[in-house]
A and B are shown apart, each in its own frame.
Chain A
Amino acid sequence: MPKLYKFLSVFRTGAVNAASGSAYAEFGNTKVIVSVFGPRESKKAMMYSDIGRLNCNVSFTTFATPIRGQGSDHKEYCAMLHKALEGAIILETFPKTTVDVFALVLESSGSNSISECVAGDLPVVISCASLALADAGIMMYDIVASVSVSCFNKNLVIDPILEEEIGQDGSLMITCMPSRYEITQLTVTGEWSTTKINEGMQLCLDACAKLAKIMRSCLKEVASDSQE
């Protein structure tokens, strides 16, 4: 039996006033803030474009990891976040302009330093970013939820913690739009048989659907609060 979901999650929108939209997410040990700015004018050097642009950045604080880091940008995460979101945003609704999605990982659940892959943080960053986009009123086809599982001694463990991630035989991360039942981002490492992949994907998709429900209720709460 796969381990039960570790959904000790906190989602909150409107974390940063200066931004058009923002969200804070806490998931196990991972703490993330995402701000969305825009749609605003694209950089001058950019060429004309009749669809909007999406610009993503992910950085870590110096105290995000047990060993003091450099607090630098995480290039790989930037690219992954961009790919996970671009399929969900209706870019046609803001031509000539750019939406900036900036994430700051306050605390990471991952290993000792950023250079070692801290795959546990990325799903939280992606889910949090989609919530921030919704908070900013950017048009999306659906909410984007992301979950990872580790394959660990033939067991599938959802949302792995650090100790599990170090010993894992493989990991699978899915980003999907649950209502449309579409996968926008998928990465797999390690050795998997087809049946195991099937099982892992199904587990992730179910978890994504649950996660999206939590995210949606968080958005609804804010909306009903503001109406009062």
Chain B
Amino acid sequence: MVGLSLGETHFIQGGIAQDLRCDGRKRLTYRPISVETGVIPQTNGSARVRMGATDVIASVKAELGKPSLLQPDKGKVSIYVDCSSTAEPAFEGRGGDELAAELSNALQRCLLGGKSGAGAGIDLSSLIVVEGKICWDLYIDGLVVSSDGNLLDALGAAIKAALSNTGIPRVQVAAGTSNDEHPEVDVSDEEFLQFDTSRVPVIVTLTKVGRHYIVDATSEEESQMSSAVSISVNRQGHICGITKRGGVGLDPSIILDMISVAKHVSEQLINKLDSEIASAEAEEES
């Protein structure tokens, strides 16, 4: 937990009210983002994202599995977050479980879309190999290495970067066996399919401190929040998911206002992130 004196809290709150935060940022400015891709070689895709002192790693692993009975034409994606005790002493043992579960749920809600697949960042139909029999299971793991606020946005960005770094092996289904219960497949280890990540949304968390809200709050600023709303927005400007944190109630008009602000901020964030990812990929190849 962040221990702040009365003076410090006044300073933070006063700064936010005057649109000049402790680190010199404005209310709607992100900290510098740095992206590194391919950090974990044994996964299909991985990325590390740093925003100030917040440091997270996301990895994507693909395995062949069986689609669920209810949705035989779709692959499966699961997202788990682990809060390492290196990030914060309070995460030791089972201390981080609650936060980890909250983050996992929020990410699933923001990235996986509705039941019919509308608004999903990942096209589940593209993961199918043989309908009803074989599909790709994507395991997306997030790891919080160092925590200084705004974990959800950082994890969302890291997952987006990791997915664009992901190559899924091309699969050949052996001809003539497609009616079997277990068709034979040949997984290529040379040819990889690239993921289309243009639809993956970014998450913008607006943290309300006093009467104003800020993006990319540090943990000091988060300790002063009354509530926070995380909004995931895709490139088309459509909302893909909303999660509210913090128990204090919000007026509906404020939430609508937050949504429009988030849409505006997300445009810049997506562009920034895309260029960071592109340069990271270029660096990895060189």
- The answer on direct contact between A and B (beta carbons under 8 Å) is yes
Interface positions of A (Cβ within 8 A of B): 75-76, 79, 83, 85-88, 111-112, 116, 151, 165-171, 176-177, 180-194, 197-198, 201-202, 205
B238 contacts the other chain (CB 8 A): yes
With A183-B249, A201-B252 known as contacts, the answer to whether A191 contacts B101 (CB < 8 A) is: no
Q: Are A191 and B119 in contact (CB under 8 A)?
A: yes
What is the size, in residues, of chain B's interface with A at 8 Å between Cβ atoms? 37
B98 contacts the other chain (CB 8 A): yes
Instruction: Tell me the bound Cα distance from A177 to B119 in angstroms.
Output: 29
Q: Are B101 and A183 in contact (CB under 8 A)?
A: no
Q: Which residue of B lies closest to A87 (CB)?
A: B247
B2 contacts the other chain (CB 8 A): no
Instruction: Tell me the bound Cα distance from A85 to B247 in angstroms.
Output: 7
Complex contacts, B260 vs chain A, CB 8 Å: 194
B263 contacts the other chain (CB 8 A): yes
With A183-B255, A188-B242, A201-B256 known as contacts, the answer to whether A151 contacts B114 (CB < 8 A) is: yes
Complex contacts, A188 vs chain B, CB 8 Å: 109, 239, 241-243
Kindly provide the distance from the CB of B156 to the nearest chain A CB, expressed in whole angstroms: 15
Chain B 219-259 near chain A by CB (<8 Å), digits 1 or 0:
00000000101000010001111111111111110011001
Q: Are A197 and B119 in contact (CB under 8 A)?
A: no
Some 29 contacts from A to B, beta carbons below 8 A apart, are: A79-B101, A87-B246, A87-B249, A116-B70, A165-B115, A167-B116, A168-B116, A169-B119, A170-B113, A180-B249, A182-B249, A182-B251, A183-B249, A186-B242, A186-B243, A187-B241, A188-B242, A188-B243, A189-B113, A190-B114, A190-B240, A191-B118, A191-B119, A193-B239, A194-B259, A194-B260, A201-B252, A201-B255, A201-B256
Interface SS of chain A: mixed
With A166-B115, A190-B113 known as contacts, the answer to whether A176 contacts B249 (CB < 8 A) is: yes
Kindly provide the distance from the CB of B137 to the nearest chain A CB, expressed in whole angstroms: 15
Complex contacts, A192 vs chain B, CB 8 Å: 119, 238-240
Q: Are B263 and A169 in contact (CB under 8 A)?
A: no
Instruction: Tell me the bound Cα distance from A187 to B114 in angstroms.
Output: 12
Q: Are B116 and A186 in contact (CB under 8 A)?
A: no
With A167-B116, A171-B114 known as contacts, the answer to whether A183 contacts B244 (CB < 8 A) is: yes
With A75-B101, A79-B101, A194-B263 known as contacts, the answer to whether A189 contacts B251 (CB < 8 A) is: no
